[in-house]
Structure 1
Amino acid sequence: MINISNLDLLTLRIFVLAAHTRSLTLTSEHVFMTLSAVSKRINELEKLIGQRLFDRRPQGLHLTPAGEFILMQAKSVVASVDLLTKNMNEFLVGISENIKVWANTSSIVQFLPNDLYAFQTLHPDMKILLEERLSIEIIKALNHAEIDIGIFSGNIDARGLEKKTYRIDQMVVVAPSMFRPEMGEECDFSQIVDQRFVGLNNGSAILDLIKDAAVSLGKTLDIPFQVTSFEAVISLIEAGLGISVLPRSAVIRTAREKLAYY
């Protein structure tokens, strides 16, 4: 029999988070604990239950059948405690605390979902109000104190704001695979500046970035196609209508076999 008194809420939260991220390293970063401390928590939970909860594989953690079953129960327990905490806080304080966040597309596609999940898991009484906006809109809203936090591209002028680096994008050239033999595994922007481009709409920080790169070479980009999302850019590239420069992580999520990126 399992002694329920040996179960603690933090360990259950760590287990739920590890199942979501499929990485003990990411989990340790999210809960601000050492990797060894997080690993010990998972091992102790497995010993308590008497079952392996994860298979450790090179590509990440994978739930065992026992882990899948326990995850459902753990989520239910955590959710119940979170609801109790929320109700008690609202009773004592009168309102729940809201944080208004605007973020650009790149950060939402690549980084924010797991970070927001981790934050809400650790701070269930705080409500995040997230909107996707252009970087220039985000900076304007910050300057007018309309939002609490903004996540925007680093190449946008944001003088007067308190800034900290959130994540670093690696930009890659995205092109039909036929371009690979000509350009090799890597290329300089000067090698592609004369190509036809597919771009994001005006106001996009990425569009401004590649336009500025072209200007620095004394060139003007040919951008006959402009759309609102990474997925739309990639679809047009797949059709052979041009090339683009996009964040690597965003491309990996959506690129198909017809494309090359480097």
Structure 2
Amino acid sequence: ETGERVRTRMADRVAELSGLTVRAATVRVQSLAADRAARSPHPSDGAGPSRRARRPWSGRRVPAALVALVGTGACALLLYDVLAVHVAGRGPAAWRTDAVDWTATHGPGDTPVVAGGVVAAVLGAWLLWLALTPGLRGVLPMAPVPGGGPRRAVLERSAVAGLLRDAVTAVPGVTDVRVRCGRRRVRVRARLGFGDRTTTHTAVRTATAATLGTLGLTRSLKPRVTLRPEPHWRPPEPTPTAPPAEPGPVTGPPPPKETDS
């Protein structure tokens, strides 16, 4: 929410000072610190955040640029040869006459034609897949900020893995942590150097669940925690207990002496 307010403030000030409209802005957070002051309620806050945010779509700049480059080059080459024939009176290029002769002597049943059709079909299916899927597999959508309008925030999966790694490393007894974050699941692999295995495993699961609960993601990640002991790990010895005291002679006041009356 703070990042959204910073971005909105920056866009408004740029428009006010320069008259230009900021269509997109990126806020990169390099460090986080706990805010001990109570957050003042935003005037546009609603009843609660919506949980319908989706993963943002990728611009697909690299595939689009490659397709446009190949198409532009082929069209420019063909246009140059056609203009050279009709304007300059030159003969057609050898590659164009060879292509026309090859297509005139080969039909749909030939192996090169079938192979070319398969390649074209695969490329077409790949382009359709890129056009119909959102992409940006390296980010996870966060819950929309109340009152934030159409702006949406995402969290990189590497950042999620870093936060989980820091939280699990702080557990006593853990020596090495490896985290692999997916789109729906996160896997935490830790090594135990000392301490009780069951207690440490429970602490690692608790730290993982607590960290995932503070990320504000639209879809909660399912954790899978694995704790393996180091080769030098030994289970802690049980604490010796003091043996019960043996019953001794009962001591008390001496019995009264009998006297003759």
Larger Rg: 2
* Higher strand residue share: 1
Q: TM-score, normalised by structure 1?
A: 0.22
Q: TM-score, normalised by structure 2?
A: 0.22
